Amino acid sequence: MGSSLPAADKKLVQIVDAALADAAGRSGEWLVCKKGCTQCCIGPFPISQLDAARLREGLADLEENDPKRARRVRQRAKDAVKRLSPAFPGDPTTGTLGTDEDSESRFAGFADDEPCPALDPTTGTCDLYSARPMTCRTFGPPVRTGENGALGVCELCYHGATDQQIAACEMVPDPDGLEDKLTAKMQQQTGRHGETIVAFVLAE
């Protein structure tokens, strides 16, 4: 099966994963992320069209290698879409998130208890781990977020660390802005624009 992903997506994944490994090394025992911890798998979050294409490819690979598991992922996604569509802050027919102020405000408290459909509820692991979105790859270590550039960390991590110690563990996932360039290319290539969430991508 030919890939619809830009060839440089593999480079982006390598850059981000290397940045995570470096931040994890500096964080030591403060970073408590481990297999079976699902804190970051609950509640939807915006993903780019590049993330969406990577997830589609990951699910297609899973369908070839483990069709039963792939069917379970797709069914969880379809069930999630059915639950989420009535209050979805965007277009529920395409899964595209709205960008107006009202939509963004509604998304802030949207479906906070909804598990990601890629999460296996039995094992607490991700069935599409190698194809996971960039947000998943950067969750845990300190990463600058928002317009003010504040350092955000997982609430389970860095207990007992000072602000200075947390800052010393900062992760810089994509210093050259490769993700934005590849996302723009992906949007131009596919005609799909805007952000979406995992459930709508995997339910297609």
Q: 152: helix, coil or strand?
A: strand
Q: Does residue 168 lie within any of the structural domains?
A: yes
The DSSP bridge partners found for residue 47 are 196
Flag whether 3 is in a domain.
no
pTM over 0.75: yes
pLDDT in tens, 38-84: 989 999 999 999 999 999 999 999 999 999 999 999 999 999 999 99
Per-residue pLDDT of 129-168, as tens digits, reads 999 999 999 999 999 876 677 788 888 999 999 999 999 9
How many domains in the chain?
1
Go through 41-71 and write b for each residue having 16 or more CB atoms within 10 A of its CB, e for each that does not.
beebbbbbbbbbbbbbbbbeebbeeeeeebe
Strands 96-97 and 90-91, bridge-based pairing: antiparallel
Whether residue 4 lies inside any domain: the answer is no
Residue 1 lies in a domain: no
Host domain of residue 193:
9-202
Domain membership flag for residue 56: yes
Q: What is the pLDDT of residue 148?
A: 73
Tokens of 180: 């934005």
Residue 168 Cα distances to 99, 132, 152, angstroms: 34, 26, 13
In a domain, 15, yes or no: yes
